[in-house]
Structure 1
Amino acid sequence: MRDFFKKRLSLAITLVMFVFGVMVATFFLIVGSIAILQHWDIISLTDHSLNSDEGRHPLHSLLILFGLCVLLGTALTAFLSKKTLNPIRKVIAATHKVAGGDFSVKVDLKGIEELEELSQSFNKMTQELSSIETLRNDFVNNFSHEFKTPISSIRGFAKLLKENHLTEGERREYLDIIITESERLAALSTNVLILSKYENLEIIPDKAPFRLDEQIRKVIVLMEPKWSSKEINVNVELDKVVYCGNEDLTEQIWLNLLDNAIKFSDQSGFINITLKNINNEIQFAIQDNGPGMDDQTKAHIFDKFYQGDTSHSQKGYGLGLPLVKRIAELCGGNVGVQSRPGQGSLFTVVLSKA
């Protein structure tokens, strides 16, 4: 019996029990009230009173009983409904706090299944809103940092070049730094513009059939200086796949994923690349043996300017993977990631052939 009461009740059963309880309580109150009113001779329901000249008309007694039922039922319902609606009031109050910008508020409703689900959904919503707000602040901070750093560097070394006591070697060094920082700023600006362009793009232009496996091979060859410098072993297994799409657009997927895998692979590590043609789907996978990612990093890896490496020891702007995700969506596909700390990462891209 104790276990029964510990179980969650559904909202429907709770409402039925509430209505039934009100009806039973009203019945007993009315019976008691009738007994008291008859004792005080305010109403009389006996046959003798109905036949007596001084007896009241039956309709009069019925009207009094009807009014009494309505009054007691309404009062009892109003009294009990306050407690019944308390969980809803808690949710409303919490909603007002969220609307005011407080995403730390939580609700804890117990006892009724639907209300517990509402409580869990509300808490999950506030957690996501808090995460989005944090990411928004991080986005502004990272964006400002990535632009401000090269600009400050360029400005500082440009001022040094105005000094007359510099040697020719120092001048060349400072000019090289200015050129490097300018290229970095240009690359960042280009990536932001490309991502912004694709975010606003809804229809893919210039579609044409092409060999997807050959495109991936060209990308691997193009990136050869990077993976060769780290002595990475690239294992390739590509099915022959003809895909109808925009070549420049899809090329960005393979470039960014391969660049990301090279960046985080260990020295003398490996990268496995596969392309499978399964039914009406094209499945691409790229796996590295890098440091892997925890759950928090995986949850935000496709957010703009998000970098799992908070120390910024790896060169990057946090725009490559968001770009990959957007292009995959434009192509009617999706991108996913599987990773664990210390076990590398596996990125998969699924495209539809239809």
Structure 2
Amino acid sequence: MNKRKRTGRIALALLISGIVFLTNTIAMLLTIVAIYGLARLGVIETTGGQVGLPELLRFFFYTSLVIGFLLASLTGKIILKPIKRIIDQLDRLASGDFKTRLHFGKPIADHPTFKQVEKSFNRAAEELDYTEMLRSDFINNFSHEFKTPIVSIAGFAKLLRRGNLTDEQKEEYLEVIEEESLRLSAMANNVLNLTRVENQTILTEVTRFNLSEQIRGAVLLLAEKWTPKNLYMDMQFGEHMICANEELLKQVWINLLDNAIKFSDPNGTVSVDISDGSECLSISVSNHGKDIPKDRIAHIFNKFYQADESHSSEGNGIGLAVVKKVCELHGGAVSAKSESGTTTFTVVLPKQQNM
């Protein structure tokens, strides 16, 4: 907790304590005034102009009890009003109303702690609203992308079933069916991978393996994608070992390399570089092509987000979300930079895992 937050919470505690103290003080003063007034009116018996001790204690007790209750009810409503507002807005948020926002009235809104509560709540609501919008877009886009290959497979399967086709036509139709089947498989795997890593909170199956060899293997797996674009895969790095979940980390390189290949200009270069630090390895994947707009680069690791809003390129906004989650599970991080026609994704991972 930083110093500013700690100071704000101390100030809030002092404010509430001050209100309680002030309430008690006012209750006592009003009680004394009430007793004095009752004594002057003769309601309380006096002896020689003095109020008897038993009567004084009895009236002081009952009068302070009544006045204290009334003041506590009044100040309690004032103190609990912002809390009630928070509860009401949380209920709206829980019911799915992500457009709701929290705003306190004066003078509470000027207090640093309530300012922080208001800011945090509204930021959370905005993120939920944004994620819901992306989720809705994802469902629409994914449904469309999922339906397209199914229609293609069904259509070409019907043509094959009718017969009267040349060997070239059969080969062409079978190739389309195979490609569309692989496309469906890739989309399903992405969704399953995201679900799997999101539900995983503890890193398991950690082994020591050659990270350099794993990345080279991922490049070979994607050869059918970078070969038609005549891309040069620049991998001038040495051998580096790491302790990690091999299967999960494999998804990181496949997603980052696939992304780099997809958005590279033809005849360009995709570069992979590994820097060896004292405790961490830094892996960079770069490609040359159109820059990612600065207003979108902050969102590319969000679920369902696609920087290419036209959806002209393949993808469903899941791959980079998987990359981020896997890196976090390993105690690492991933970042992106895009400028001057070069986009670079950098992954930083610890060499060892604390088990």
TM-score with structure 1 length normalisation?
Answer: 0.77
The residue aligned with 1:30 is 31
Q: Give matches, 1:325-336, under 5 Å.
A: 325-329=324-328, 332-336=330-334
CA distance in 2, matches of 1:170, 1:96: 60
Q: Report the CA distance between 1:245 and its aligned residue.
A: 5.1
Match status 1:337 vs 2:328: no
CA distance in 1, matches of 2:281, 2:94: 44
The answer to whether the 8 Å contact 1:107/1:123 transfers is: yes
Match status 1:90 vs 2:79: no
- The change in CA–CA distance for 1:197 and 1:48 in structure 2 (over 3 A counts) is closer
- The change in CA–CA distance for 1:171 and 1:220 in structure 2 (over 3 A counts) is closer
Kindly provide the CA deviation profile for residues 69-119 of structure 1, in whole angstroms up to 9, marking residues without a partner as x.
221122122122212221111112112222222121111120322222222
The residue aligned with 1:68 is 63
The residue aligned with 1:53 is none
CA distance in 1, matches of 2:66, 2:48: 28
Q: How many residues align?
A: 338
- The change in CA–CA distance for 1:37 and 1:85 in structure 2 (over 3 A counts) is same
Q: Give matches, 1:167-178, under 5 Å.
A: 176-178=175-177
The answer to whether the 8 Å contact 2:300/2:320 transfers is: no
Q: Give matches, 1:78-117, under 5 Å.
A: 78-109=73-104, 110-117=109-116
Name the stretch that deviates more: 108-117 or 9-18.
Answer: 9-18
The residue aligned with 2:308 is 309
Q: Which amino acid aligns with 1:33?
A: A
- The change in CA–CA distance for 1:17 and 1:340 in structure 2 (over 3 A counts) is farther
CA distance in 2, matches of 1:153, 1:247: 35
Q: Report the CA distance between 1:275 and its aligned residue.
A: 0.5
Q: Report the CA distance between 1:142 and its aligned residue.
A: 3.7
Kindly provide the CA deviation profile for residues 180-215 of structure 1, in whole angstroms up to 9, marking residues without a partner as x.
3233224434554555566677665483543x3344
CA distance in 2, matches of 1:236, 1:23: 75
Q: Which runs of 5+ in 1 are unaligned?
A: 1-7, 51-55
Q: Report the CA distance between 1:162 and its aligned residue.
A: 6.7
Q: Report the CA distance between 1:296 and its aligned residue.
A: 4.5
Kindly provide the CA deviation profile for residues 258-317 of structure 1, in whole angstroms up to 9, marking residues without a partner as x.
2211211234544442101111211111123332244455435352x5432232221234
CA distance in 2, matches of 1:49, 1:80: 37
The residue aligned with 2:4 is none
The residue aligned with 1:5 is none
TM-score with structure 2 length normalisation?
Answer: 0.77
CA distance in 2, matches of 1:206, 1:16: 52
Name the stretch that deviates more: 99-108 or 186-195.
Answer: 186-195
- What percentage of aligned pairs have identical amino acids? 35
CA distance in 1, matches of 2:74, 2:190: 63
Q: Which runs of 5+ in 2 are unaligned?
A: 1-7
CA distance in 2, matches of 1:247, 1:99: 38
Cα RMSD, aligned residues only: 3.6
Aligned to 1:299, the other structure's residue is in SS state coil
Kindly provide the CA deviation profile for residues 121-144 of structure 1, in whole angstroms up to 9, marking residues without a partner as x.
222222233234334434433442
CA distance in 2, matches of 1:31, 1:218: 87
Q: Which amino acid aligns with 1:299?
A: H
CA distance in 1, matches of 2:297, 2:264: 17
The residue aligned with 2:347 is 349
The answer to whether the 8 Å contact 2:281/2:351 transfers is: yes
The residue aligned with 1:258 is 257
The residue aligned with 2:14 is 13
Aligned to 1:103, the other structure's residue is in SS state coil
